[in-house]
Structure 1
Amino acid sequence: MKVLFIGSDVYGSNSRSMRDGIIRSGDEVVTVDSAKISNLTGWSFARINRKLLGGRPSRSAVERVMSDVESAVESFRPDCVFAFKAINLPQARLHSLSVPLKVHYSADDVSNAQNVSTDYLEHESLWDAVITTKSHNVPELLARGVLNPLLVWSAYDPELHFRYRDVEHFDFLSGFIGNYRPDREKTIDSLCTLYGELFYLAGPGWRRARLGGLNFSPKVHPGVYGAMYSRAISRVSANLVLLNSDNRDQHTCRSFEVPAAGGLFVGPRTEEHEKILEDGSEAFLYSTEDELFEILERLRVDVEWARRVRIDGYRRVVEGRNTYADRWSEIRDSLIGQRSK
């Protein structure tokens, strides 16, 4: 299949990992990088300009991306347009493209107003498939008129998420890698207070949070991406897998990335987490903060138990067809089946 992929080509992004998974599956891919309108980072002029526009990318940036898309369709003649969260592109122009299949993918909750646009919603039902990683989105998409909502779970990228090294001793007892979110602050603050310098924290936004009480100010490491994510995981004995309440997460990319990187998965007890890993033998799941603290204390004492669970969790994920290439195979099979009806 010839696939025109529209999405951010930034190293370490989920979008790029999905694109690479399609390539690893043997399909021919041309990429139109939409990072300039979907993944602005740093204090660039484009990001400042976007803030002035109320979070919207500039018209000129959108036009450049859309022009690249139209040129690629003309020269490449793809069988499929795969749009990774293309909510900021002009939807009517996307759907006017002379391409047999057009699919939209989002790893975020598409019922959250922050993850859609008015233009996208007005044209949503025109997509041949709308792919979501959120099980609760499927009935919501059907109710909005989407004819083919497709649930595909999150994944890991073997080029980025792998056992960085075999270790017997760790630099930190526990840790979390990810963005600051208000719903995460209480748990992280409690762990910083409890473990002090033995708790590893990395990611944007945490420096502004008041963590660790009056007597301790934790060191906040910068965000780590790509292979450096796996290196950071290897330094931590028990890795927290926190979810995003704004997305109503039952699982997330981190749910696969942490064990794939050889990390010991410690995360909230959800129906989907219980399907990904076996509680107590491949991961440790908790329902309350007190239960989380109890788990971490047990792991501190029983190092051998932690080692066994870490290894078995790793095997479950990497041997279970959970890469982006595997997810693309699911998507492609569904699309082919849809066309044959």
Structure 2
Amino acid sequence: MDSGEFFGPTAIAGLKGLACPILLYNVDDPTGHRDGRRFDSLLKALPLYDLVVVVRKETEAECLSLGAKQVMRVIRSYDEVAHQPFLNPTHIPTEFRSEVIFIGTWMRYEKRDEFLLHLLEQGLPLSIWGSRWKKSPHWAKLQIAYRGGSLSGRDYVAAIQGSKICLGLLSKGNRDLHTQRSLEVPFAAGLLCAERTTEHLEMYQEGKEAVFWADAKECASICHRLLLNDSLRENIRVAGQKRVLALQVGNENICRKILTHLRIG
């Protein structure tokens, strides 16, 4: 079951009649507070799953306290097919080429708009792709950087690979220490520039496989420096792609680990 938000105890009990293991895979924060009552049905059904798979330590502990039989924590993943980079970068359409890019949704209370506005005020050549940005109270100043709505498929890969630097912003409401972008960006041949967290530092060697920052001021400074140094930027990008492959966190890898864990358990 992917996410599981629409399935309560009755539905999962019915699935148990299939006489096969019932697994839950959830990369959100179902035991957190950002999404209100979105995961109420899932939480009630937790004890019925044979294995619950989550992506953060807090969720792992909280699912166990709510009666989950067995909980496994994994890193998020990229998709080996959907996020495959262009073999020939010259085939990336012009409209998806940029200097510094952020791909993501405007979210109330996350202050992503304030962060990106600070980058613009620091003179960073920023491009923004994603939905709901017109709802931002800072839209009048941000719209100069806005390139279009949410991206998917080859357009998503083109925007990552076609940028010189790709920003990875966390969801604080979701207690994130890494996101899907943390893996998708390096795999899709982009240079990851994200917040410095314990999990990011475990994944990548700072300054050699990815770059990290503590705030918007440091982020702007790092981006300006990288934009002036093509060879350094390319070295980090290539090293980051090699590292994410070595981590073995593609969807196939993660699914294999989950199934192996279940057989052992």
TM-score between the two structures when normalised by the length of structure 2: 0.88
CA distance in 2, matches of 1:149, 1:111: 13
Q: After the TM superposition, which residues 153-168 of structure 1 pair with which residues of structure 2 at under 5 Å, given as runs?
A: 153-164=75-86, 165-166=88-89
Alignment match of 1:272 (pick from 196, 199, 204): 199
Larger C-alpha radius of gyration, 1 or 2?
1
Return the letter of the residue paired with 1:148.
Q
The 3 A distance-change label for structure 1 pair 296 and 125 is: same
The 3 A distance-change label for structure 1 pair 93 and 234 is: closer
CA contact 1:175–1:236 (8 Å) conserved in 2: yes
Displacement of 1:215 in angstroms is 10
Alignment match of 1:262 (pick from 189, 204, 209): 189
1:169-212, Cα deviation, whole Å (9 max, x unpaired) = 9942211001112421111112233447x311100111332547
The 3 A distance-change label for structure 1 pair 229 and 248 is: same
- Are positions 1:176 and 2:94 aligned together? no
CA RMSD of aligned residues (A): 2.2
1:27-74, Cα deviation, whole Å (9 max, x unpaired) = xxxxxxxxxxxxxxxxxxxxxxxxxxxxxxxxxxxxxxxxxxxxxxxx
5+ residue gaps, structure 1, are: 1-82
1:289-325, Cα deviation, whole Å (9 max, x unpaired) = 2211110111021121011001100111123311100
Q: Secondary structure at the match of 2:169?
A: coil
Higher RCO (Cα < 8 Å, 6 or more apart): 2
5+ residue gaps, structure 2, are: none
Q: Secondary structure at the match of 2:105?
A: coil
- Are positions 1:207 and 2:126 aligned together? no
- Percent of aligned pairs with the same residue? 24
Report the count of equivalent residues: 254
TM-score between the two structures when normalised by the length of structure 1: 0.69
The 3 A distance-change label for structure 1 pair 206 and 216 is: closer
Displacement of 1:214 in angstroms is 5.6
Q: Secondary structure at the match of 2:193?
A: strand
Q: After the TM superposition, which residues 111-130 of structure 1 pair with which residues of structure 2 at under 5 Å, given as runs?
A: 111-113=31-33, 114=35, 116-130=38-52
The 3 A distance-change label for structure 1 pair 300 and 333 is: same
- Are positions 1:285 and 2:212 aligned together? yes
1:130-173, Cα deviation, whole Å (9 max, x unpaired) = 11012221111122121211101100012121222436x99422
CA distance in 2, matches of 1:217, 1:176: 14
